[in-house]
Structure 1
């Protein structure tokens, strides 16, 4: 298994400039951009175009879905579409705020001048390789100039700026052949790859950019940038996958996606989309937004590191979502708006609540291969006003009609942000293209959507509700019923922040199954109801495999829930503790249970009789998950020689575990059980507690979808299969008491 005896082998792989996944010193990624002398620029501040004011804009209805996806890419179709440029142009010509304010910031930037002179290089170095000096500032300044001039052309129609942008693109595509340095070259390939591709995507429709020159630029992006992006995501420089922070993955994902669209390469585009959803590294959305607190505050992966990198994560994932949206793929809404949860958490954590005091946000311990028990919120860089929030706010509020109060405040705080490094104090330099006020602001939406994304999680006799709010709503009412579809009784009113409610005995909650909806109170009255969410507070048998079948390949489920198991490979039948039993051969036999069997479960009990024939470390009694990054498992013997239960959402080094203090006997029947009740986990052998952990912050539902739910097999291919017999395998929704565990025997 990768967690064992792996760290000792990593030392030689960690390049000097890697710093445990740190951004390069004195680089833009550290919030203190490195600078290089620019050519002398002559003033060229063009006044805003004037014309008769246009009528006040009509609020737009919600744009609830992305453009339809097909095999033909939309062009321009990365951060901005032609419709976006038409909108910007109209607003600037009408002197409409805040667009015109963003325009004036653009034209005042030295990168947006016709006198700007590019400085192309054959090789760009980021991070010291001991031979070559770093020169990547030349590249990112020229990218900033290309993008700024491209915007000026698309908004004003002045082709002089188009010619300047094309000249810079051609200068680099005819010169650059190498990106080098230490491991920080992966940052250069990612950050500048996605930015350069975006600038070129804007210019591809310009008739003055020759087809041969576009092809040359596309070739440079394919051969110089993409191979580094791809290699990083699949190898992470030979390190354990959680070694690099989220931003390293994110910038390379953004580059792959942008190059895919620029080069009309669907496989490349899909590579980025798939990694966003299913990638093993910390940039995949389920790892980047590590933990979902009540009210959908999504703790970002770098929260215990510093806030400069936390805000960079939002500034990188936002463009990934926007580029995908413009090609018909909704990553913004993926996994119940998980990105928005991360954005709201990061925004709230970096906003002043009153005086000099920041808002407080909840925090749970984070672990990875390099950081064990990162127990506290990191205040370094807190208040960083890095750009990117206009994109977040305008998508979720003015496209979708959702509430995003903290992203809204952050967007207002930086408005109108600039570009080319001119964002304001502690703004992160050239890691973003900037100008979001100009490019991302949308007309106000006419009315908010109904509350949505309601979830209900039952734990310790209570039900915790969370939901997404509605733009313009002033408060929310929670309703509860005992039948699907109602009728419902109002149990809470006047909720406005946090968008969460805990239903308990105080409001009449008893053991049973309940159904909930949420209503928003808005200026135009009560909204439609949210989706309905249900929760069961009573202990409930989810699966009962008596394993008395005796023949065939199906292990019958007697719970009535339809969770039968399928015998695979060397799994067969034998006599058991109570009638028949499952026999596993220790080499390839196991039982597969249905997908997502515990995907809506918080408190849980798993119990079985086991007869272990041959002791082997890490053999699984059960292992439910979706691979070696997300799983919940019970092994008969861990490194301590005793049983171990563990659950993780970011691999072996992120395990929250219960280690037993007694060995599981070989050659005799032993009853094993594990329970999770709130944050308390308990491990039992023969009805006796042999291990506990009062800080189990993870629960089965946090694993997300699980397609590999196995008895007798590990998520890790190198681990041995269980060798022995298993009888009376049970899963309960809810934690049985010690007395109830004893009664199962």
Structure 2
């Protein structure tokens, strides 16, 4: 079957600490055999929801800024140089010993998992390899399935040798590996060649990684297999992640998430097998901060209350959505085995996506969806989506997710568990990923972890709470106090989803989530401070320096061609030269906000299209910006996340030039409102992206665009302010006096 682009040939950290959240949390979280048209964590043996999470949203992780200014997620430096572990891809020697022990004890579900592998007969010792010099996909006469069959055999033979210690399986696995490494020289086809490089390169590397400890595999043969991976598979995978088949510059999101994820997996797996730490870093960094749909921030591009992470392909179909979860899980598993916790990255972002996709695919006996999923409209290059499409896809990809987050971390994953209950023991997959997760990943559970990863932000003027649950908890107790030390009053019991919206009234409040378990009440790991709407979050007077006058310490920096000019009513204002001058706010300065207000005085010297007053983001795929004049000649506030040029906006007449103008924007829930000179001039519903959904912005600018070709602001700025919550018209009018 040929597949083409868009159907077109083209136990956790348990110490409890109190930390500031303002009125918003730092950040909750921000298929079939085919694809379709798509920051660094360190290893924590404790894992848990707190490991490598949003610094302000998870207790036990200190903010890199000030105690009152939490960042939204870890930055994305290259992984720390470390010795590569072998075998260290989908399974380690420790995993293999666990499997041997469980099989020796005739324990379930491991015996059932082994039988699912054996029933395929892929470890038949009479089988002979059928290597090809050229493997093609996506063109007439494609032959990639011939390679896939041998690839799966090699992996199963290697596993059977590792489990049984029967050398006959090792010899047969080496026969397959050597046959292909001495024959294959090229991958070909249409755009689907990049699916071949991604889906199969990483599985070949996994088979070979299991065999590298076999003394009967000659060193020269190992080197030849490494050369095949590096010369045939890696160049295609690397090129795709850099260029996206020629669409990188204009429409990086033209390819669906599974295309990126497959090739990230290949780069990572080849890096480990070939002892290339640079390749490992390339793959890890792309997952954390890449622009394509497979990057963590873009494959889960919107997080609903209760940490249900809308998957990038959810509006497409569920075959591809479950493939994406499979591939992301494989990547995180390989990284975990190399000492890097991508599972925990950005407050367990993968788990948020997995829970959304799992719940989407729960169906009744007739195949009808059991749940209607929350859905943020998708308006990307693949057309519009208004709901999750399809249900009841039973791809074998849930044991890996469940075993890590629940059995290893002690969290709850109710929708993942419900899917796993339907399909365990997991079968072999058809070639896109190995499957057999019950055999490879099932493990005895650790003690349950307390509720963790608590976040809170203002949405429609109310406090919206979300948290990660406790394995085995029957319900959660949402608690609030006027002091971090209590006493805490229980507001409500909650089961699923793990979210609660509170309207506490005036005051400063502290929240905590406790779990009710069979062993008694378990105190939550986090305590969050939430202030009343309207708290001054950031204030840059811009009258002699770029320091923050709010008391929060969010001092900005003047960059490029900046100087000081005449301000309003005397004094000075920052002068931006229109060529390189701009103001850089600290990373993640606004990333803890849901509802917000931004206001500033500007003196615009000359009207230019696509100039920015502010632009908060990390690249040209995800940002929110205020433009004094867009391509349609309008003043526009807009935001986007992984939809590239398809922005959610509110617009009005172009901003005047040649005089001081006060401009402000507010966001309340999904309603955006623009003010000019203190008067409301436009409002619009349907703006789903707020700063909270953008995560840790690393390009948080005044006067500069995320797009390198857009002009810089030319003129002066003064008195830039951000407030938590959407201020009312009277307040804005007061600021404009």
Structure 2 equivalent of residue 50 of structure 1: none
Alignment CA distance shift 1:408-1:704 (3 Å): same
Structure 1 equivalent of residue 501 of structure 2: 502
Query: What CA distance in whole angstroms lies between the structure 2 residues aligned with 1:247 and 1:409?
Result: 23
Task: Write out per-residue CA displacement over residues 683-712 of structure 1, whole angstroms, 9 at most, x where no aligned residue.
Answer: 122223332221111111111112222221
The alignment status of 1:362 with 2:362, answered yes or no, reads no
Task: Write out per-residue CA displacement over residues 12-68 of structure 1, whole angstroms, 9 at most, x where no aligned residue.
Answer: xxxx974337799x982279xxxxxxxxxxxxxxxxxxxxxxxxxxxxx977589x9
Structure 2 equivalent of residue 102 of structure 1: 113
Structure 1 equivalent of residue 404 of structure 2: 395
Given the alignment, which residue of 14, 20, 29 partners 2:6? 20
The CA deviation at 1:79 is 0.3
Structure 2 equivalent of residue 42 of structure 1: none
Q: TM-score, normalised by structure 1?
A: 0.87
Query: What CA distance in whole angstroms lies between the structure 1 residues aligned with 2:316 and 2:332?
Result: 24
Q: Does structure 1 conserve the Cα–Cα contact (< 8 Å) formed by 2:309 and 2:356?
A: yes
Query: What CA distance in whole angstroms lies between the structure 2 residues aligned with 1:114 and 1:440?
Result: 26
Greater than 6 Å deviation, 4+ residue runs: 21-24
The alignment status of 1:617 with 2:628, answered yes or no, reads no
Query: What CA distance in whole angstroms lies between the structure 2 residues aligned with 1:303 and 1:400?
Result: 27
Q: Does structure 2 conserve the Cα–Cα contact (< 8 Å) formed by 1:367 and 1:653?
A: no
Out of 392-401 and 572-581, give the one that drifted further. Answer: 572-581
Task: Write out per-residue CA displacement over residues 654-708 of structure 1, whole angstroms, 9 at most, x where no aligned residue.
Answer: 4221122x12112122221111011100112222333222111111111111222
Structure 2 equivalent of residue 539 of structure 1: 534
Alignment CA distance shift 1:413-1:69 (3 Å): farther
2:302 is paired with a residue of what secondary structure?
Answer: strand
1:457 is paired with a residue of what secondary structure?
Answer: strand
The alignment status of 1:703 with 2:694, answered yes or no, reads yes
Higher relative contact order (CA 8 A, sep 6+): 2
Query: What CA distance in whole angstroms lies between the structure 1 residues aligned with 2:365 and 2:4?
Result: 38
Alignment CA distance shift 1:21-1:80 (3 Å): farther
Query: What CA distance in whole angstroms lies between the structure 1 residues aligned with 2:91 and 2:597?
Result: 50
Given the alignment, which residue of 633, 636, 647 partners 1:641? 633
> Which segments of 5 or more consecutive residues in structure 2 lack a partner in the other structure?
11-30, 37-44, 53-78
The CA deviation at 1:608 is 1.6
Alignment CA distance shift 1:63-1:277 (3 Å): closer
The CA deviation at 1:292 is 0.6
Structure 1 equivalent of residue 55 of structure 2: none
Structure 1 equivalent of residue 303 of structure 2: 292
The alignment status of 1:199 with 2:207, answered yes or no, reads yes
Q: Does structure 2 conserve the Cα–Cα contact (< 8 Å) formed by 1:387 and 1:432?
A: no
Structure 1 equivalent of residue 335 of structure 2: 324
Alignment CA distance shift 1:27-1:648 (3 Å): closer
Q: Does structure 1 conserve the Cα–Cα contact (< 8 Å) formed by 2:562 and 2:582?
A: yes
Alignment CA distance shift 1:484-1:189 (3 Å): same
Query: What CA distance in whole angstroms lies between the structure 2 residues aligned with 1:594 and 1:94?
Result: 56
Query: What CA distance in whole angstroms lies between the structure 2 residues aligned with 1:165 and 1:212?
Result: 16
1:111 is paired with a residue of what secondary structure?
Answer: coil
Query: What CA distance in whole angstroms lies between the structure 1 residues aligned with 2:165 and 2:476?
Result: 47
Structure 2 equivalent of residue 58 of structure 1: none
The alignment status of 1:676 with 2:667, answered yes or no, reads yes
> Which segments of 5 or more consecutive residues in structure 1 lack a partner in the other structure?
1-15, 32-60, 422-428
Q: Does structure 1 conserve the Cα–Cα contact (< 8 Å) formed by 2:151 and 2:204?
A: yes
Query: What CA distance in whole angstroms lies between the structure 1 residues aligned with 2:203 and 2:163?
Result: 19
- Computing the radius of gyration from Cα coordinates, the structure with the larger value is 1
Query: What CA distance in whole angstroms lies between the structure 1 residues aligned with 2:614 and 2:461?
Result: 26
The alignment status of 1:664 with 2:650, answered yes or no, reads no
The CA deviation at 1:734 is 1.3
Query: What CA distance in whole angstroms lies between the structure 1 residues aligned with 2:407 and 2:46?
Result: 7
Structure 2 equivalent of residue 417 of structure 1: 426
Query: What CA distance in whole angstroms lies between the structure 1 residues aligned with 2:674 and 2:720?
Result: 16
The CA deviation at 1:630 is 2.5
The alignment status of 1:217 with 2:218, answered yes or no, reads no
Q: Does structure 1 conserve the Cα–Cα contact (< 8 Å) formed by 2:135 and 2:147?
A: yes
The CA deviation at 1:652 is 3.4
The alignment status of 1:374 with 2:385, answered yes or no, reads yes
Q: TM-score, normalised by structure 2?
A: 0.88
Alignment CA distance shift 1:409-1:651 (3 Å): closer
Query: What CA distance in whole angstroms lies between the structure 2 residues aligned with 1:103 and 1:460?
Result: 51
Query: What CA distance in whole angstroms lies between the structure 2 residues aligned with 1:165 and 1:716?
Result: 50
Task: Write out per-residue CA displacement over residues 389-414 of structure 1, whole angstroms, 9 at most, x where no aligned residue.
Answer: 11111111110011011111212211
Query: What CA distance in whole angstroms lies between the structure 2 residues aligned with 1:401 and 1:156?
Result: 31
Structure 1 equivalent of residue 443 of structure 2: 442
The CA deviation at 1:186 is 0.1
